[in-house]
Chain A
């Protein structure tokens, strides 16, 4: 993944907010990146652009050498489905579907997962995040940490190469946080590109590279 001079501005009524300012960086597979910075510094904006959730105002973003700006809805959707797993800070679960059904949802459009394997795969993913006893619950019957783990299982449903997590442990206690970070680390060791936005200093223990963002600009990055 390659970001070149990415800028994102939001037009409000009478002011323009520059959330990202000329950001350039290259992300590689097999690493865990931690993006840190103050609240409002543009971390979520960055990760949303990388997850194809928002479009940059200007700049060039390429995934596997494909320029995103040249793609239509169908091609973008295919990229999202195959390559990107996004874990939102706000979870964004489908409230009228049960936990395991939320995890199945992305598999419905993936022709590589046969219909009969979907349920089995969803259950094994939920087991992986320790939710095997909650598969039949609706999101509103679950705690924040549990919802977060469903969102994580869902992000992994189609086995993407890029896993993006926006404050995945923001609502979790330390014990759960460790579980999640360990798991994300494991994924990066399996060759996936894992990018985690986090406030927590604990993330530093797991990260291969740390990016610090300030006022929409990449301030420093450390290799560990």
Chain B
């Protein structure tokens, strides 16, 4: 039986009410599956990051300021692999080669407070106390309207301190870049902040955050290095590895996926059963005129697959809209997407979702066919006696 012939059988009943309800429910199921699998995907990736970072190594965090000389001393200790400035988890401005801020990450908030500056939006800085930034970032909202064309100062490592003449709503101003902030660790014009040129050199510096992480080769050697640091008079603490926490958290999305699969199974089973039972006398007619059980199975299979495919397309569109809405809220993206690798769409969760739904469809259908159609006489089907 060709697919076009199957279409002939189902064409007029495809959009009947029960199928539409089935589609709504399927969309919801697919959406929940997609979400739980995607969350699982991120957990897994996050965990992989953590693992590569932390599987062998342990970290000692240094919170007091240390001199370059001390840094050199620490690097030369046994068991120390490297020492590096900690990735700032909070929002900070990177200020390179500028006045007293030498290559430092500075918390935005204290900088603004100390200099009595405020971040403005929707216009160029007019007063001496105003800073404007290119894109929005949490918790500040900065304007990104058309007049602000960032294109012409893209990807310059030495942005800080450079002047720009910007024309915005008929006002021409010369601004200087006071710093760049980023959460993807890329320096470009999208994450620059500007203030008036006159103000630039009068900025009062604040203490840059200078936390360091010392990587130790093995767990057993942490104590040894720590005691040396103690003797040097350096404040430190040994963070607990977060692997344990992540391990147990990981089960939430796995559990959610399994639950979504189980509920999908029950719902799909229920709807397919209802659908077959509703059409059972039609299938009796088909059998009476010579259709085999296999051909009836194919008709149901195609109809259901069509329903699921349609739902999958609709749900994917909704999912993508939600997804891109979410990653454009910097607060969310800052915490969810720790690297650009993670930013890629989790294609596996799409494939897996469709695979799960398709397999559930086949399993339910095979079982229901046996139970509702195959073992019954044509007359039972026609009369719909069960």
Contacts and interface: CB of A to CB of B under 8 A. Distances in A.
A101 B13 contact: no
B340 interface: no
A67 to B, nearest CB: 18
A42 to B, nearest CB: 14
Given A54-B377, A73-B374, A109-B1, A97 B290 contact: no
B130 interface: no
Contact of A108 (B1, B16, B288, B378): B1
Contacts of A51: 288
B344 interface: no
B25 interface: no
B290 A106 contact: yes
Contacts of A78: 290, 292
A79 to B, nearest CB: 8
A97 B11 CA distance: 9
Given A54-B378, A108-B9, A109-B1, A82 B290 contact: yes
Interface residues of A, number: 34
Interface in A35-82: 48, 51-55, 73-74, 77-82
Interface in B186-203: none
Interface stretch (A88-96, A188-196, A212-220): A88-96
Given A53-B379, A96-B13, A97-B12, A80 B290 contact: yes
Interface string B281-309: 11011111111111100000000000000
B284 to A, nearest CB: 7
Interface string B355-386: 00000000000000000001001110010000
B73 interface: no
A109 B379 CA distance: 20
A53 B377 contact: yes
B301 to A, nearest CB: 16
B220 interface: no
A154 B288 CA distance: 11
Nearest to A106: B289
Contacts of B377: 53-55
Given A104-B8, A109-B290, A53 B285 contact: no
A87 B12 CA distance: 24
A192 B19 CA distance: 42
Interface size class of B (residues with CB under 8 A): 20 to 34
A185 B170 CA distance: 96
A86 B292 contact: no
A81 to B, nearest CB: 2
A92 B285 contact: yes
A102 to B, nearest CB: 9
A157 B288 CA distance: 13
Contacts of B374: 73
A114 B333 CA distance: 59
Interface-centre pick from B286, B289, B292 (highest chain A CB count, 10 A): B289
A169 interface: no
B289 A105 contact: yes
A148 interface: no
Nearest to A55: B377
A158 interface: yes
Nearest to B374: A73
A108 B285 contact: no
Contacts of A48: 379
A166 B9 CA distance: 26
| Closest A-B pairs by Cβ, 9 of them | A81-B290, A106-B289, A80-B290, A77-B292, A108-B5, A53-B378, A96-B12, A96-B13, A54-B379
Given A92-B284, A92-B382, A97-B12, 13 more contacts: A73-B294, A77-B291, A77-B295, A78-B290, A80-B289, A82-B290, A88-B288, A88-B382, A92-B281, A101-B8, A104-B8, A158-B289, A158-B290
15 contacts: A51-B288, A53-B382, A55-B377, A73-B293, A74-B292, A77-B287, A78-B292, A80-B289, A80-B290, A84-B290, A86-B289, A97-B12, A106-B290, A108-B9, A158-B289
